[in-house]
Structure 1
Amino acid sequence: MKRLFYATNNLDDAESISDEVHKLGIDDHHFYVLSRDENGIKSHHLHGSSNIDKTDIIAAKKRAKMMASGALAIMIAAVALSTNAFNSQLLWAIFAAICAYVVISFILLITGGSFDGYFKSLINERLDSGEVIIIIDVEKAQSKKVERQLDTHDKAQFLADSSNLASPIPD
């Protein structure tokens, strides 16, 4: 799945965008609104929160950890399949794979964490200025249709896109 981030001026615009996106087949569980106006989110019947820190939507750190774990599993499997199971070479290779995992994990967590912090600060700046952030999860096949629709909407400003791996929209 793909995650799309848009900004708009107010909750009325967000509700209008929600209606358009719902007509394209996106349900409430894949459409999330961030706004400092908690009561407005409820009165507009939007699925959302007033604070991004209450969510786990931006999860570059989680994706990085999953990638490092996958790389470790592949390295250990490759070594195990290419050597004798009781060979000391295998033990050294597994030790080297674990060391590589620790280094890769550390690097990915630092870079993922800095992205999370940077993106959260941008979102918080926009929220503090009164804007509304819209987050939409779409199947890759739907993404172009949704993007085209929102490109024609004069109140929707595209911010970014990413994967939604390991960070579902909160219920």
Structure 2
Amino acid sequence: MKRLFYATNNLDDAESISDEVHKLGIDDHHFYVLSRDDSGIKSHHLHGSSNIDKTDIIAAKKRAKIMSFGISAIIVAIIALSTNTLNSQLLWAIFAAICAYVVINFILLITGGSFDGYFKSVINERLDSGEVIIIIDVEKAQSKKVEQQLDAHAQAQFLADSSNLASPIPD
């Protein structure tokens, strides 16, 4: 799935955008609003929160852990399949794969954490200025249709897109 981030001026615009994307087949569990106005979110019948730090919807760190584990598992599998017997070479290879996991995980966590921090600061800055952030999870096949709909919406400003792997929209 693909995650789309948009900004708009107020909750009325967010509600209008919500209605538009719902007509395209996006349900409430794939549409999320961030606004400092908790009562406004409820009165507009939107699924959302006032604080991005409570949502964990930006999860570059989690994706980094998954990727580093996957890369290390591939290294171990390749070494195990190329070695006939359990001997000291295999044990050293497994040790090397574990070390690779630690190094890859460290590098990816630093870069992922940097992205998380930067993007959260951008979102918080916009929220503090009174804007509303809209987060939409779409299937790849739906993404072009939703993006075209929102590009045509005068009040929707595209911010970014990413994967939603390891960071589901909160219930």
- Tell me if TM exceeds 0.5: yes
Partner of 1:53: 53
Matched residue SS, 1:85: coil
TM-score (norm 1): 0.99
Partner of 2:86: 86
Partner of 1:151: 151
Aligned equivalents of 1:92, 1:17: Cα separation in 2: 56
1:164 aligns with 2:134: no
Counterpart code for 1:96: A
Q: Displacement of 1:86 after TM fit?
A: 1.5
Unaligned runs of 5+ in 2: none
Matched residue SS, 1:155: coil
Matched residue SS, 2:137: strand
Partner of 1:127: 127
Q: Displacement of 1:44 after TM fit?
A: 0.1
Aligned equivalents of 1:42, 1:62: Cα separation in 2: 30
Q: Displacement of 1:35 after TM fit?
A: 0.0
Q: Displacement of 1:87 after TM fit?
A: 1.8
Count the aligned residue pairs. Answer: 171
Matched residue SS, 2:25: coil
Counterpart code for 2:84: N
* RMSD value, Cα: 0.5
Aligned equivalents of 1:24, 1:58: Cα separation in 2: 24
Partner of 1:41: 41
Counterpart code for 1:30: H
Unaligned runs of 5+ in 1: none
TM-score (norm 2): 0.99
Task: State percent identity of aligned pairs.
Answer: 89
Q: Displacement of 1:84 after TM fit?
A: 2.3
1:111 aligns with 2:103: no
Runs of 4+ in 1 over 2 A off after TM superposition: none
